[in-house]
């Protein structure tokens, strides 16, 4: 504790000691009008009287924990006062008795399947003594089971739906009841707004739980194809190919589009890299080899690239030997 706090506690302590020395074993009930420590003493007397009265009022009303607080404050002011300590001991016992009575009632209600009554009794037990662990554990466990049972019901629903319902239809009908559907709804909205990449992010969250949903899969497929078309239009065939490869995962078995687009783009990329190799061959054989290798990767049947690559490799080996 800081010095200033210790100082003010010391003054207060000295006042209490002075009472004891001057024969104030039983605390005076009137305030002093004198200045200095005596006026402080007067304030303390008033405070003590107020706390004693308040403790009695609480006890009369059956508000035992509140009465206990008042006695504990009084015992802080006068730690040597035996009556305070005795009042605290008695009250603590009564509080424990009341808390235990409600705890037993709660356990009995729970055994009889009366969940609401049990919950109320456990809370009443805690209202007497919130530091007990047993009623809190009961309440936590009841709440835990209630929440997990709702989640288990959801998993059963998901398993049934996975079995083949066309779920996205529900979104159109606004029958949304799970977070997965909010993500799907958001994804469809983004798709319609042309935010294709963001729409995929959201719809894939839906597909994490419902991987077989055909309409959701169709949205992701169309989004990937849409991105691929944009990239093709801007000449970024490599990037388009990445989107098309991903789109294959969402296409129905009888949908020929992704595979056909991929074939065409690979042919085109193979030709591009073949031409690039042709252009740099005379001044940079390593670069040319790299391009033709990529050409062959995209189209293993590209005869021109195969032949050029083979020739270039031979030349390179000869150069290596000469060096």
Burial string for 150-184 (b: 16+ CB within 10 Å, else e) reads eeeeeeeeeeebeeeeebbebbeeeeeebebbebb
Q: Which stretch binds another protein (CB under 8 A): 191-199, 245-253, 282-290, 314-322?
A: 191-199
Report if residue 97 touches another protein, rule: CB under 8 A: no
Instruction: Give, as one character, the DSSP assignment of residue 30.
Output: S
> Of 66 and 297, which has the nearer Cβ to another protein?
66
Give least dist CB 33 to another protein, A: 13
Q: Which is nearer to another protein, 61 or 279 (CB)?
A: 61
What is the phi-psi region of residue 61: left when phi exceeds 0, alpha when psi lies from -120 to 50, beta otherwise?
A: alpha
* Per-residue binding letters, 16-55, with another protein (x by CB under 8 A): x----------------------xx--xx-xx---x----
Burial of 193 (0-12, 13-18, 19+ CB in 10 A): exposed
Neighbouring CB atoms inside 10 A of 121's CB total 23
Please say which residue, 158 or 242, places its beta carbon nearer to another protein.
Answer: 158
What number of other Cβ atoms are within 10 A of residue 67's Cβ? 23
Contacts to another protein from residues 139-158, by CB under 8 A: 139-141, 143-144, 147-148, 150-152, 154-155, 158
Binding span for another protein by CB under 8 A among 178-186, 236-244, 283-291, 305-313: 178-186
Give yes or no for residue 117 binding another protein (CB under 8 A). Answer: no
3-state secondary structure of 78: coil
Q: Does 228 bind another protein (CB under 8 A)?
A: no
Q: Residue 56 and residue 67: Cα distance in Å, rounded?
A: 7
Tell the smallest beta-carbon distance from residue 211 to another protein (Å). Answer: 6
Quick count: other Cβ atoms within 10 Å of Cβ 45? 19
Residues 62-81 that bind another protein (CB under 8 A): 62-63, 66, 69, 72-73, 75-77, 79
């Amino acid at each position: 504790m800081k010095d200033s706090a210790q100082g003010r506690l010391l003054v207060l302590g000295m006042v209490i000691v002075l009472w004891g020395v001057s024969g104030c074993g039983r605390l005076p009930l009137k305030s002093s009008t004198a200045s200095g420590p005596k006026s402080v003493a007067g304030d303390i007397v008033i405070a003590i009287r107020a706390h004693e009265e308040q403790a009695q009022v609480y006890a009369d009303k059956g508000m035992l924990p509140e009465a206990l607080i008042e006695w504990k404050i009084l015992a802080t002011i006068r730690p040597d006062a035996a009556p305070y300590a005795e009042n605290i001991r008695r009250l603590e016992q009564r509080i424990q008795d009341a808390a235990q009575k409600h705890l037993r009632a709660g356990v009995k209600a729970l055994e009889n399947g009366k969940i609401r009554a049990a919950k109320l009794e456990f809370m009443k037990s805690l209202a007497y003594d919130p530091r007990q662990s047993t009623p809190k554990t009961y309440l936590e466990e009841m709440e835990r089971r209630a929440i997990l049972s709702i989640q288990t019901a959801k998993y059963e629903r998901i398993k049934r739906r996975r079995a083949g319902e066309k779920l996205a239809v529900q979104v159109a009908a606004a029958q949304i009841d799970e977070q997965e559907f909010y993500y799907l709804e958001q994804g469809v909205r983004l798709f319609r707004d042309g935010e294709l990449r963001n729409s995929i992010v959201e719809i894939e969250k839906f597909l994490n739980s419902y991987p077989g949903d055909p309409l959701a899969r169709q949205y992701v497929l169309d989004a990937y194809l849409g991105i691929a078309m944009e990239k093709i239009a801007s000449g970024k065939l490599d990037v388009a190919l990445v989107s098309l490869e991903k789109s294959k995962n969402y296409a129905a078995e009888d949908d020929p589009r992704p595979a056909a687009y991929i074939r065409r783009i690979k042919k085109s990329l193979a030709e591009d890299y073949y031409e690039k190799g042709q252009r740099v061959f005379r001044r940079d054989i390593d670069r040319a080899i790299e391009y033709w290798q990529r050409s062959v990767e995209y189209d293993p049947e590209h005869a021109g690239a195969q032949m050029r690559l083979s020739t270039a490799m031979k030349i390179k080996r000869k150069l290596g030997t000469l060096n």
